[in-house]
Amino acid sequence: MIKLKHIYKSYRLGDIEVPALQDVSLHVKPHEFVSVLGPSGSGKSTLMNIIGCLDVPDSGEYILDGECVENCTENELSDIRGKKIGFIFQQFNLLPDLTAYENVEMPLLYHRISAEERHERVMKTLEQVGLSDRIYHKPSQLSGGQQQRVAIARVLAGRPSIILADEPTGNLDSVSGKEIMDIIKGLWQDGNTIVLITHDIHVADQAERKVYVHDGKLSDKETSV
C-alpha cells in the first residue's frame, strides 16, 4: 500500500542545505500498524509529510496504492489526501469558534455530501470517540483529550483508509493519552492502516511493528538510535 523507495529530502535555507531524509525505504502493508520512533529533528515529520502527500521528495519513488505519487501536481496530491488519508497532529487544530459538531462537519462541506449524510457521519464519529454528549461544546470548553477526540472524529468522518498520526498524545496527560491510543488501536482493528510517529517508546510499543529514524536514515533496528 505505502511503498517508499530510496527517498531523499532536504530543505534549503539560503545557502545551506539541511538534509532531512536520506535514502529512506519503507513498505507499509494494508491494515498494518507501524510506529516511527526517533529523536527530535531526525526527520519523522518530514517522513510523515511525504507519506501523507503534504510534501514531495527530492528524489526516490513513492507508490501509494499502486500509483506513483512522487511526480503528482498539487491538485492531484490534494485529491489523494482527501480520498485516502487522515491526519492526527499533536496540536488539535480545531476551529475555536465552532462547536465539536461543526468542527467535525467542516471538511465534509467541501465534498458533495448531502446534509443528511453529513449529519449521520458527524453523529456517528462523535459517538465512536465517546463524545455524543459534547456536540455543542466549543474547543475551549473541552479538555485536551476531548479536543483530540473531536480531531479524530473529524478525521474519521472523511473515511480515510490510512491514518497518519504525528505525536497524537504529545500534549496529553497519561490517562487521556491512553484513551487516544485505545481509539487508534480500535481504528486499526477496524481495518485502517496506521502510521504513528512518536518519541515515546510506550506509545510506539502498541504498534505491530516499529521503525527508527536517526539523522534522516530509517532502520528497523533499535541499535541505530
Site of interaction with ligand ATP (CB under 6 A): 11, 13, 18, 20, 38, 40-46, 199
Closest among 55, 74, 82 to 162, alpha carbons compared: 82
d(C-alpha 188, C-alpha 177), whole Å: 17
Among 35, 42, 45, 193, binds Mg ion (CB under 5 A): 45
* Range in contact with Mg ion (rule: CB under 5 A) among 43-51, 82-90, 103-111, 178-186: 43-51
Closest among 9, 26, 27 to 18, alpha carbons compared: 9
Provide, rounded to whole angstroms, the least separation between the CB of residue 16 and Mg ion: 20
In sequence order, what are the beta bridge partners of 112? none
How is 88-131 classified by DSSP, letter by letter?
EESS----TTS-HHHHHHGGGGGS---HHHHHHHHHHHHHHTT-
Provide, rounded to whole angstroms, the least separation between the CB of residue 204 and Mg ion: 14
Q: For residue 191, count other CB atoms closer than 10 A to its CB.
A: 9
> Which residue number, 158 or 177, has a Cβ lying nearer to ligand ATP?
177
d(C-alpha 124, C-alpha 130), whole Å: 10
Provide, rounded to whole angstroms, the least separation between the CB of residue 194 and ligand ATP: 17
- What contacts 164, CB < 8 A, 6 or more positions away? 48, 51, 52, 85, 86, 87, 88, 194, 195, 196, 197
46 is a site residue for Mg ion (CB under 5 A): no
d(C-alpha 188, C-alpha 159), whole Å: 13
Look at residue 18 and give the partner it binds from Mg ion, ligand ATP, none, a contact being a CB closer than 5 to 8 Å depending on partner kind.
ligand ATP
Provide, rounded to whole angstroms, the least separation between the CB of residue 44 and ligand ATP: 3
> Which residue number, 24 or 162, has a Cβ lying nearer to ligand ATP?
24
> Which residue number, 45 or 125, has a Cβ lying nearer to Mg ion?
45
Look at residue 41 and give the partner it binds from ligand ATP, Mg ion, none, a contact being a CB closer than 5 to 8 Å depending on partner kind.
ligand ATP
> Which residue number, 7 or 157, has a Cβ lying nearer to Mg ion?
7
Closest among 12, 25, 13 to 59, alpha carbons compared: 25
> Which residue number, 36 or 100, has a Cβ lying nearer to ligand ATP?
36
> Which residue number, 42 or 103, has a Cβ lying nearer to ligand ATP?
42
Binding site for Mg ion (CB under 5 A): 45
